[in-house]
Amino acid sequence: MQLQQTLRKSYSFEGKGLHTGKVAKMVVGPAPVNTGVVFRRVDLGEEAYVKALAENVSNTARSTTIASGDAYVCTVEHILSALTGMGVDNAMIDIDNVEVPILDGSAKPYIDAIWKDGLEEQDAPRKYIELKEAVEVRNDEKGSIVRIEPAEEFSYEIKIDFNSRVLGVQTARWDAGTAYVEEVGVCRTFCFFHELEFLLKNNLVKGGDVDNAIVIVEHPVTKEQVENMSSIFNVPVLEVREDGYLSNLQLRFENECARHKLLDLIGDLRLCGGFLKAKVIAEKAGHGINTAAAKEIRLKK
């Protein structure tokens, strides 16, 4: 029997939010049995709680936002993924601003901090979320699908296809035989060069920098465009590598982008309220369809 688990102590993280650019300090700490994962906006008061549940999702544009009353928290998917991948049932997350820090663009900073201390077993069995029938959510316009089927053991499979000559079609999988902390949680977010230019011009990624995202150069760019990007981020002149990626980062895996989308999927589906004992199959998935699937599961509980 798997017992519930929480953290042995509290861990602090501080940094800019990817989309808002606002600096937040976040403390991830232990919580009692059956708490689940709860965020507390300490800048709004001691009672400004937002439970990490699908019915609290308020926005899925470029990240997942949850809200309750006047309190909301943006970009919750990476920390939720880390807690799920490491097997944390219960955690209280205090944050003093609107957005979770992006840190290195993956869940690695959480893993590095928490994993070395191990987890604290609690005196209650884990409550698994089991399905009686399959749940399927589609977006035919985008060609997206998330299907969640009853199963004895959990598994998550994802396929990404951005019609990209650089990325190609990539797949990734997480199950009991996959080391989340080494093979999924360390994989960073990504964007396309042309999208980044647009977002920067429209002031939509105020906390982005070349340390927290893989940049894919899908279309030809000029030397001046690359130099301008280097100037914006105040780094030495970048280059476009032969494989089509900007030279700001080295890939941790050939399919790191698919693995990051898997990381997001795990985090978004934690909004079901616990650990899924199910087979998850996703294609061209994003925060909108992920959280819609989580809501469907919540409705069927």
Cβ proximity of 21 and 207 under 8 Å: yes
- Which of 81, 71, 147 is closest to 108 using CA atoms? 81
Q: With 0-12 CB in 10 A as exposed, 13-18 as middle and 19+ as buried, what is 216?
A: buried
Q: Which H helix or E strand runs over 93? A: strand 91-95
Long-range CB contacts (within 8 A, 24+) of 130-137: 130/277, 130/278, 131/278, 131/297, 131/300, 132/300, 133/300, 135/293, 135/296, 135/297, 135/300, 137/289, 137/292, 137/293, 137/296
The four Cα atoms 160, 174, 252, 143 give a dihedral, to 10 degrees, of 10
Give the CA distances from residue 226 to residues 166, 202, 240, 251, in Å, rounded to whole numbers and listed in that order: 17, 18, 8, 19
Structure tokens that stand for 252 in this block:
């941790």
Give the CA distances from residue 76 to residues 53, 130, 204, 278, in Å, rounded to whole numbers and listed in that order: 11, 24, 18, 22
- Chain center to CA of 79: 7
Give the CA distances from residue 228 to residues 52, 187, 215, in Å, rounded to whole numbers and listed in that order: 39, 27, 15
Cβ proximity of 259 and 157 under 8 Å: no
Distance of alpha carbon 38 from alpha carbon 50, whole angstroms: 6
Question: What is the amino acid identity at position 254?
Answer: E
Catalytic, 287? Answer yes
3-state class (DSSP) for residue 278: strand
Q: Would you name the residues annotated as active-site residues?
A: 287
